[in-house]
Amino acid sequence: MSVRMTVLASGSRGNCTVLSSSGTSILVDAGISCRETIKRMKAAGEDPHQLKAIVISHEHSDHVAGLQVLAKKLKVPVYMSEATYQSWRKYTHDAEDKPVTLERREHFHAGRSFSIGDITVTPFTIPHDAADPCGFTFKAGGVKIGIATDLGYLPFSVKDHLRNCDGLVIESNHDLEMLRNGPYPWMVKQRVMSRVGHLSNSALAEFLQTDYDGNAAFLVLAHLSEHNNHPELARETAYRALGTRLSLFQSSALTLAQQDQPLQPICVG
């Protein structure tokens, strides 16, 4: 049995990924509009009506911008932590400026696995400036996929969760020099660089060089900054880091997630 993954959008203007086992399809984050999500799913050959649930990592708008409309339209349950839900509600209002609710929602706890159909979801805490930010691993039919973006650094616990992944989507947000010299105000630069900000190319490279087990058949570099990174720089830095471990370099297909168009579906297993 295989797992199919389609990154519909990735970056500070919206994040959304479809993950499908043989029996279950779920959406991970809903950071682009409902309309755009459905359009991109169709373009990638995914059927929006097959979706069984939406799983949310944290309440930043680039992960939830389309959530309310999408959940209503698809009539599927939304899985998010209680703290994420409360924080999301605080900032989200309907057309009449009233606070919103999600009719069908399930609260998960970081560190506790749960099932959606035949997919086992394990949320885990990531260091990021949100109420209760989570990365995920998804297991179905012996295949394990890890998704970890929006994290200031890679603590031991996160590295541990990412062991033995057959596919890995991981943040390669910025080049430190570009960020330092770039257009962002100093406060924002400090936030991105902090321990609860975003993962730099070089922090990812260090992980790939030292801790990454080389198990994944594919790696997707995700959440690239449009102002503080170049796709080629992110790719080169990761290649170089993997290159010091040649067998891994050969076995891993390296892809860059994009902001404005879906990636080709990736099948593992």
Chain contacts with Zn ion (rule: CB under 5 A) = 60, 62, 150
Of 46 and 62, which CB lies nearer to Zn ion in the complex structure?
A: 62
Of 60 and 161, which CB lies nearer to Zn ion in the complex structure?
A: 60
Of 53 and 192, which CB lies nearer to Zn ion in the complex structure?
A: 192
The residue type at 258: Q
The 3-state DSSP class for residue 31 equals: coil
Of 150 and 166, which CB lies nearer to Zn ion in the complex structure?
A: 150
In the complex, least distance from residue 87 CB atom to Zn ion, rounded to whole angstroms: 12
Distance between CA atoms of residues 245 and 74, nearest Å = 44
Of 54 and 140, which CB lies nearer to Zn ion in the complex structure?
A: 54
Nearest residue to the partner Zn ion, using Cβ: 60
Ramachandran region, residue 15 (left: φ > 0; alpha: ψ -120 to 50; beta: rest): beta
In the complex, least distance from residue 239 CB atom to Zn ion, rounded to whole angstroms: 24
In the complex, least distance from residue 50 CB atom to Zn ion, rounded to whole angstroms: 25
Radius of gyration of the chain (CA): 17
In the complex, least distance from residue 150 CB atom to Zn ion, rounded to whole angstroms: 4
Distance between CA atoms of residues 44 and 24, nearest Å = 17
3-state secondary structure 129-170: CCCCCEEEEEEECCEEEEEECCCCCCCHHHHHHCCCCCEEEE
Distance between CA atoms of residues 115 and 106, nearest Å = 11
Q: What are phi and psi of 59, to 5 degrees?
A: -90, 5
In the complex, least distance from residue 160 CB atom to Zn ion, rounded to whole angstroms: 22
